[in-house]
């Protein structure tokens, strides 16, 4: 899976924020801010990544167990899919 | 300046310099809602947000207020980011057509701010040479913008759903009173620097020209309505961050030629009083400084907010001021009413809407009727307010006060 074209992540007022571009504005309402780990996953998803690769990315950057990492990654993917940002 | 305004200035002064500042919660009796509203009126709520976000938990601010503040900031910064991204593409297309473009105002001034994405902008201004105006308009139309050209206008406004309005200018100074405008316009094109907007190159004015243009822009704003703290922040940052690149003696000379030297001296004195900015010695006007008028200038800035639109009375007083010539005292009701209804040829011909009388002066009575019809049908002012322009003595007094300030600046 990967981030669809027409979205970019920018640091705005010190916070990572998803910015829809061009026609994406119409389908993307509201503001989506990402935590530090969310921003990390976003970077990985820009080039395309599997769920396992995302879990590994979290494990190599944070001192947490695999179950917690997987739960967080699943929640992240779900929220991104619900916003129609991911190409599965 | 009241206590809350003073606190706002202190917050702003620290925020634009990326310095920490924590108001004295115990002694300052801070009304955060009032500060937010004041900051909003001056379009600086976004600039102070990073500072506020660091102290809000301990400074006694309501959670709801902070949430709306945060939301306003994110919406604006996303909007600006999207538009800047789009403009990168527009600049590339204009460049491909061989059209030189100078990005104006917020598009280039934002780089001076610690958080460029938080410098408020309501539209995008770009300058092209007069000969390139039509070709540039075609490029903008091809990417989906639609233009509204007024007869004789020196700029065209382009709209596109979901994006900020673009103002395409062929001329920088539209205010007739500024002297030697042509010389300035030519100097701007001779003194450019290259900047990039999302990796796409575009021209910007040299910092000397940028400083002068910002001041000239404020001169026209104070005449037609007013300006707020946001515009002062630009000047403070140009002076402090780029002052070493500026030949201040040359700028002072040019400002004298343009007839705005006294106004710029006053502007910089206000920046000094409010933000502690050091005034370049070339602009310290020892003979011309007058504490009384500087105090009134500061009051004018606070009472008007950004573009002098903070409250209805100020807005109406500006209409009165705009439509009154120098001939009659504002208290002279009858002459003032006559003048309001039937402005002189010179006043009316200066407005693009009625500029057809330049070509056909005999059409002046038609222009009066045209203007009356516009006045009666304009929807942004309720009928009761339209009536009050003719009846309310307080408005006449406000207009008179502003008139004397403008005269002191030598702008009227």
| Cα separation, B301 vs B295, whole angstroms | 10
Tell me the range of B218-232, B298-312, B331-345 where mean pLDDT is highest.
B218-232
Give the residue-averaged pLDDT of A75-88. 91
Which of A12, A17, A28 best tests the B interface by mutation, with the highest count of B CBs <10 A?
Answer: A12
| Cα separation, B195 vs B185, whole angstroms | 20
pLDDT above 90 as % of chain B: 54
Whether B50 and chain A come into contact, CB under 8 Å, resolves to yes
pLDDT in tens, B59-79: 888 999 999 999 999 999 999
Three-state DSSP class for residue A32: strand
**Nearest CB to A25: which of B49, B75, B82?**
B82
Q: How do beta strands B163-169 and B123-128 pair?
A: parallel
Position B26 pLDDT exceeds 90: no
Instruction: Determine the pLDDT at residue B43.
Output: 93
| Cα separation, B246 vs B209, whole angstroms | 9
- Return contacts of B307-311, CB within 8 angstroms, 24+ apart: B307/B221, B307/B225, B307/B226, B307/B227, B307/B228, B308/B221, B308/B222, B308/B224, B308/B225, B308/B226, B308/B227, B309/B225, B309/B226, B310/B41, B310/B228
Across B273-288, b (16+ Cβ under 10 Å) vs e yields bbbebebbebbebeee
Torsion angle of the four alpha carbons B110, B114, B117, B118, in this order, in degrees rounded to the nearest 10: -100
ipTM for the complex?
0.83
Going from the C-alpha of B11 to that of each of B23, B66, B250, B300, the distances in angstroms are 8, 16, 33, 20
Please list every residue in chain B whose beta carbon sits closer than 8 Å to the beta carbon of residue A13: 46, 49-50, 53, 73-74, 77, 115, 117-118
How close does chain A come to B141, measured CA to CA in Å?
A: 16
Find out whether B45 and B85 touch, Cβ atoms under 8 Å: no
- At B337, list the tokens: 């009413």
CB within 8 Å: B81 and A10: yes
Average pLDDT, chain B: 88
H or E, element range at A12: strand A7-12
- Locate the DSSP E strands across A29-73: 32-34
pLDDT in tens, B144-169: 999 876 655 678 899 998 899 999 99
How close does chain B come to A80, measured CA to CA in Å?
A: 18
| Cα separation, B44 vs B118, whole angstroms | 9
Whether B311 and chain A come into contact, CB under 8 Å, resolves to no
Which of B18, B52, B54, B78 best tests the A interface by mutation, with the highest count of A CBs <10 A?
Answer: B78
| Cα separation, B274 vs B298, whole angstroms | 9
Position B100 pLDDT exceeds 60: yes
Within 107-146 of B, beta carbons closer than 8 Å to A belong to: 115, 117-118
Instruction: Determine the pLDDT at residue B168.
Output: 95
| DSSP structural state of residue A62 | S
CB pairs under 8 A between A and B: 46
**Nearest CB to A21: which of B85, B115, B118?**
B85
Please list every residue in chain A whose beta carbon sits closer than 8 Å to the beta carbon of residue B86: 21-22
Give the residue-averaged pLDDT of A14-22. 89
Pick the CATH number of B79-205 from 3.30.460.40, 3.30.360.10, 3.40.50.300, 3.50.50.60: 3.30.460.40
Position A14 pLDDT exceeds 80: yes
Give the residue-averaged pLDDT of B172-197. 86
Give the residue-averaged pLDDT of B305-327. 75
Position B277 pLDDT exceeds 90: yes
- At B359, list the tokens: 């070509």
Which residue of A lies nearest to B78 if distances are taken between CA atoms?
A19
pLDDT band at B197 (very low <50, low <70, confident <90, very high): confident
Q: Which of B25-29, B57-61, B219-223, B330-334 comes out lowest in average pLDDT? A: B330-334
Give the residue-averaged pLDDT of B170-198. 86
Whether B389 and chain A come into contact, CB under 8 Å, resolves to no
Q: Can you say whether the dihedral through the CA atoms of A39, A44, A48, A50 is positive or negative?
A: negative
Higher-confidence residue of B396 and B336: namely B396
Instruction: Determine the pLDDT at residue B379.
Output: 78
If you search the block for the tokens 């907007």, which residue do you land on? B197
Instruction: Determine the pLDDT at residue B333.
Output: 66
Instruction: Determine the pLDDT at residue B288.
Output: 65
Instruction: Determine the pLDDT at residue B321.
Output: 79
pLDDT in tens, B320-352: 777 776 655 555 667 777 777 888 888 788 777
Which of B67, B70, B81, B116 best tests the A interface by mutation, with the highest count of A CBs <10 A?
Answer: B81
CATH number of A2-83: 1.10.10
Which residue of B lies nearest to A29 if distances are taken between CA atoms?
B75
> With helix as H, strand as E and coil as C, how does chain B read?
CCHHHHHHHHHHHHHHCCCCCCCCHHHHCCCHHHHHHHHHHCCCHHHHHHHHHHHCCCCCCCHHHHHHHHHHHHHHHHHHHHHHHHHHHHHHHHHHCCCCEEECCHHHHHHHCCCHHHCCCCEEEEEECHHHHHHHHHHHHHCCCEEECCCCCCEEEEEECCEEEEEEECCCCCCCCCCCHHHHHHHHHHCEEEEEECCEEEEEECHHHHHHHHHHHHHHHHHHCCCCHHHHHHHHHHHHHHHHHCCHHHHHHHHHHHCCHHHHHHHHHHHHHHHCCCCCHHHCCCCCCCHHHHHHHHHHHHHHCHHHCCCHHHHHHHHHHHCCCCCCCCCCHHHHHHHHHCCCHHHHHCCHHHCHHHHCHHHHHHHHHHHHHHHHHCCCCCHHHHHHHHHCHHHHHHHHHHHHHHHHCCCC
CB within 8 Å: B77 and A26: no
Which residue of A lies nearest to B72 if distances are taken between CA atoms?
A31
**Nearest CB to B74: which of A17, A22, A26?**
A17
Length of chain A: 88
Please list every residue in chain A whose beta carbon sits closer than 8 Å to the beta carbon of residue B74: 12-13, 15, 17, 31, 33
CB within 8 Å: A17 and B82: no
| Cα separation, B362 vs B90, whole angstroms | 43
Instruction: Determine the pLDDT at residue B32.
Output: 93
Q: Where are the domains of chain B?
A: 3-61, 79-205, 207-310, 311-408
Which of B79, B82, B87, B120 best tests the A interface by mutation, with the highest count of A CBs <10 A?
Answer: B82
């Amino acid at each position: 899976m990967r981030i669809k074209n027409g979205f970019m992540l920018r640091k705005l007022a010190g916070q990572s924020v998803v910015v829809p571009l061009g026609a994406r504005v119409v389908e993307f309402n509201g503001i989506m801010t990402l935590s530090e780990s969310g921003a990390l996953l976003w970077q990985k998803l820009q080039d395309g990544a599997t769920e396992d690769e995302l879990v590994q990315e979290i494990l190599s950057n944070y001192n947490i167990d695999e179950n917690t990492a997987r739960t967080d990654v699943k929640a992240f993917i779900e929220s991104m899919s619900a916003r129609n940002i991911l190409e599965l | 300046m009241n206590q809350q305004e003073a606190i706002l200035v202190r917050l702003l002064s620290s925020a634009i310099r990326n310095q920490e500042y924590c108001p004295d919660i115990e002694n300052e009796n801070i009304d955060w809602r009032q500060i937010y509203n004041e900051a909003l009126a001056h379009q600086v709520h976004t600039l102070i947000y990073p500072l506020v976000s660091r102290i809000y938990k301990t400074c006694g601010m309501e959670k709801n207020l902070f949430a709306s503040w945060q939301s306003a900031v994110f919406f604006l910064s996303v909007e600006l980011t999207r538009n800047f991204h789009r403009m990168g593409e527009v600049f590339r297309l204009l460049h491909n057509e061989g059209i030189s473009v100078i990005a104006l105002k917020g598009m280039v001034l934002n780089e001076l701010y610690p958080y460029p994405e938080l410098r408020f902008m309501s539209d995008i201004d770009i300058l092209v040479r007069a000969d390139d105006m039509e070709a540039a308009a075609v490029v903008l139309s091809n990417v989906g913008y639609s233009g509204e050209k007024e007869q004789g206008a020196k700029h065209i406004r382009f709209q596109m759903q979901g994006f900020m309005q673009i103002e395409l200018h062929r001329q920088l100074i539209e205010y007739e009173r500024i002297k030697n405008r042509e010389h300035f316009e030519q100097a701007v094109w001779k003194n450019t620097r290259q900047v990039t907007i999302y990796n796409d190159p575009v021209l910007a004015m040299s910092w000397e020209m940028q400083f002068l243009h910002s001041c000239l822009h404020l001169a026209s704003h104070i005449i037609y309505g007013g300006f707020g703290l946001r515009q002062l922040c630009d000047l403070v940052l140009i002076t402090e961050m780029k002052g070493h690149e500026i030949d201040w003696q040359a700028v002072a000379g040019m400002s004298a030629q343009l007839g705005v030297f006294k106004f710029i001296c006053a502007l910089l004195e206000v920046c000094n009083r409010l933000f502690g900015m050091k005034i370049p010695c070339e602009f310290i006007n020892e003979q011309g400084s007058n504490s009384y008028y500087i105090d009134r200038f500061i009051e004018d800035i606070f009472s008007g907010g950004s573009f002098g639109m903070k409250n209805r009375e100020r807005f109406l007083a500006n209409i009165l001021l705009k439509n009154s010539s120098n001939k009659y005292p504002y208290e002279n009701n009858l002459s003032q009413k006559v003048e309001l209804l039937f402005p002189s040829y010179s006043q009316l011909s200066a407005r693009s809407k009625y500029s057809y009388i330049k070509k056909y002066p005999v059409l002046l009575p038609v222009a009066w009727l045209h203007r009356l019809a516009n006045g009666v049908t304009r929807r942004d002012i309720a009928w009761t307010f339209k009536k009050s322009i003719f009846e309310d003595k307080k408005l006449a007094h406000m207009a008179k006060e502003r008139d004397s300030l403008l005269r002191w600046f030598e702008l009227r």
